[in-house]
Amino acid sequence: MTNPALRARRVRTLLPALALALTATGLAGCGDDSPDAAPDAATSSASGAITIEDPWVRATTGTEDPTMTAAFMTIDNETDEDVVLVKASSPDAGMVQLHEMAEADGTMVMQEVDGGITVKAHGGQLLQPGGYHVMLMDLTGELAPGDEVELTLEFSDGSSQEVTAPVKEFTEEEGHYHSPGTEEHSH
Amino acid sequence: MAGSERTPLGRRRFLGYVGSAAAGAAAGSAGGAAWASARDPEPAPPAVPTTSEAVLSPYGPHQPGIAAPAPRVTEVVALDLLPHVDRDALGRLLRAWTGDVEALTTGRPTPGDTEPWLAEAAGVTVTVGLGPGALAAATVEGPWGFGPVPPMRHDRLQERWSGGDLVLVVGAPEGTTAAHAVRQLVRDASPFARQRWRQTGSWNGVDRAGRPVTGRNLFGQVDGTGNPAPGSDLFDRTVWVREPRWAGGTTLVVRRITMDLDLWATLTREEQERAVGRRLDDGARMHPMPPRAHALRARPAQNGGARIFRKGANYSTGEDSGLVFMSFQASVEGQFVPVQTALDQEDALNEWTTALGSAVFAVLPGFDEGDWLGSTLLS
């Protein structure tokens, strides 16, 4: 039902040979965990991969600071090894950082994540408003609802993913995304 | 505090149910047509379908809601494109909707949903189609035989229930989930399109023991007995378009049919049964069949072999009651139009039923993971 060759349009998986090999051997040992993940050659790379679900980017139209915004998604890691999202980039942003919300002196502040965002083996990690997110700064232009943003995500296993994320309106969390160096970013 | 972990439920959930999805579709010929031709009701499978079993994969050659059993709640929403929308913009809308469909089908909130608690129920289907206006805006030719339904003598069509550049058919196990799914889909379409009309209906496709049954319209008729069974060759030949770019798609005619329940209630039971040509209690065909009976006039043999696959959703509002009638077929001109034309001329039911709305859509082929709705047409 799932043809890996057809994954190219929205989520392109660029697994290097080493990661692919790890994935294939890993799957052979975990059949009891997921009986649905039939480990034949055609599906092993798809079911044993890192996948991005539900990506979206908050529109900047009408926001306080339209030079920055955030991207959200779910990262699923169906491999046997923990992986870390170490870097993200986009042609639409001059600078991209991985951020988290953390408590400091009783208030929630946004800060860059030390060492990237870890996704446990056979686990998933939400990047969502109020939590981890991909911070897009120095935007090259306004991002209106209905636009699309291309993102490249790089992982600790050497693999990378290209994602096309729709830009959507979002009214909550207004003002939560401030530029680094402002008071709310002091550690 | 920085973000929450979760298990990759979404993918697992539908991957695990691919097999049962096919079985559900096969069992669910329950979902369809009644005022059409003859076929004994399917023997009911023993097990009660649970919510999780009803989860379909969003992926495959066809959009899964078409062959799925009739959902309890159906919302049909037509939208009109904004003037600036061209092929590129339509592609962006369909990619955004693809993400929404993937999420909703597997019981997740749509990306960016501000009320994610309303999207917890599994078993949602979303079927997307393009009307003539969207095909023109994207300079895409419809499938062979795609065209308007000509005016019928008994129609009393109203603009507010007719036409539309895009259609969404949302099926859900209950109304709150359906309403929220529609809201999110329409919201995500707002840079491109505005809602034109929205029709909501319900269907009871299970008996007291929870076994699948064909279900009844508001006249009390078993409605859908004559449908080709999903999964059969006949169904595939009736419904799916085969030409390359549209392969796996279909066409959809949506008709809002008001039903005069008060006048119907003045008939004797025998008069009611003669109008449709079926017994009311079990939907079995009458012998001999009265010449103007609906079940006779709608038979493929009466219409040069033309056959449709139909689904219904009963509606009841402060204004009137009736059926949101959905007909799926490979060709509007080759299948729906001859059947409807024959019924317009001879069907005894015309006395108590009147079409208030009519719209035609080309339903997009299905998509595989990593692909998007309409990619074969707009790429």
Each residue's pLDDT tens digit, B273-294: 999 999 999 999 998 889 899 9
Taking alpha carbons only, the member of B335, B355, B331 closest to residue B344 is B355
A10/B11 CB distance under 8 A:
no
Cα separation values, A64 from A92, B229, B263, Å:
19, 56, 61
pLDDT of B29:
33
Distance CA(A96)–CA(A112), nearest Å, equals: 10
**Is B21 inside any structural domain?**
no
Q: Is the Cβ of B52 closer than 8 Å to some Cβ of chain A? A: no
**How many domains are there within chain B?**
1
Residue B48 — φ and ψ, nearest 5°?
Answer: -75, 125
Q: Is the Cβ of B208 closer than 8 Å to some Cβ of chain A? A: no
Chain B nearest C-alpha distance from A129 (Å): 9
Please say whether the beta carbons of B204 and B215 come within 8 A: yes
Length of chain A: 187
- B55 — pLDDT class (breaks 50, 70, 90): confident
* Residue A143, pLDDT above cutoff 50: yes
**Is B16 inside any structural domain?**
no
Of the ranges A80-89, B254-263, B315-324, B341-350, which one carries the lowest mean pLDDT score? B341-350
Share of chain B above pLDDT 90, in %: 75
B5/A12 CB distance under 8 A:
no
Taking alpha carbons only, the member of B360, B251, B329, B287 closest to residue B33 is B329
pLDDT of A172:
59
pLDDT tens digit string along B147-156? Answer: 999 999 999 9
**Is B86 inside any structural domain?**
yes
**Encoding tokens for residue B354?**
């009147």
Residue B363 — φ and ψ, nearest 5°?
Answer: -85, 130
Q: Is the Cβ of B107 closer than 8 Å to some Cβ of chain A? A: no
pLDDT of A25:
36
Chain B residues with CB-CB distance to A127 below 8 A: 3
Return mean pLDDT, chain B. 87
Q: Is the Cβ of B96 closer than 8 Å to some Cβ of chain A? A: yes
Active site residues of B: 223
- A62 — pLDDT class (breaks 50, 70, 90): confident
Q: Is the Cβ of B207 closer than 8 Å to some Cβ of chain A? A: no
Distance CA(A72)–CA(B249), nearest Å, equals: 32
**Is B25 inside any structural domain?**
no
**Is B280 inside any structural domain?**
yes
Of the ranges B39-43, B163-167, B209-213, B312-316, which one carries the lowest mean pLDDT score? B39-43
A7/B6 CB distance under 8 A:
no
A102/B1 CB distance under 8 A:
yes
* Residue B309, pLDDT above cutoff 60: yes
Its domain, for residue B175, covers 32-43+65-367
- Of the candidates B2, B3, B375, the beta carbon closest to that of A9 is on B375
* Residue B258, pLDDT above cutoff 90: yes
Of the ranges A16-25, A167-176, B262-271, B309-318, which one carries the lowest mean pLDDT score? A16-25
What angle in degrees, to the nearest 10, is found between the helix axes of B175-189 and B87-105? Answer: 160
**Encoding tokens for residue A6?**
């057809």
Cis peptide before B288 (omega within 30 of 0): yes
- We find that the CATH architecture of domain A50-185 is Sandwich (2.60)
* Residue B332, pLDDT above cutoff 50: yes
pLDDT of B49:
43
Chain A nearest C-alpha distance from B102 (Å): 8
Q: Is the Cβ of B7 closer than 8 Å to some Cβ of chain A? A: yes
A170/B188 CB distance under 8 A:
no
Q: Find the residue in B nearest to A120 (Cα).
A: B5
Of the ranges A88-102, B20-34, B178-192, which one carries the lowest mean pLDDT score? B20-34
Residue A103 — φ and ψ, nearest 5°?
Answer: -85, 130
* Residue B112, pLDDT above cutoff 60: yes
ipTM over 0.95: no
**Is B155 inside any structural domain?**
yes
3-state SS class at A78: coil
Mutate which of B7, B9, B12 to test chain A, going by most A C-beta atoms within 10 A?
A: B12
Distance CA(A78)–CA(A123), nearest Å, equals: 7
pLDDT tens digit string along B92-105? Answer: 999 999 999 999 99
**Encoding tokens for residue B349?**
């039911």
pLDDT of A173:
53
Structure-derived torsion over alpha carbons of residues B259, B261, B264, B268, reported in degrees to the nearest 10: 150
Please say whether the beta carbons of A137 and A179 come within 8 A: yes
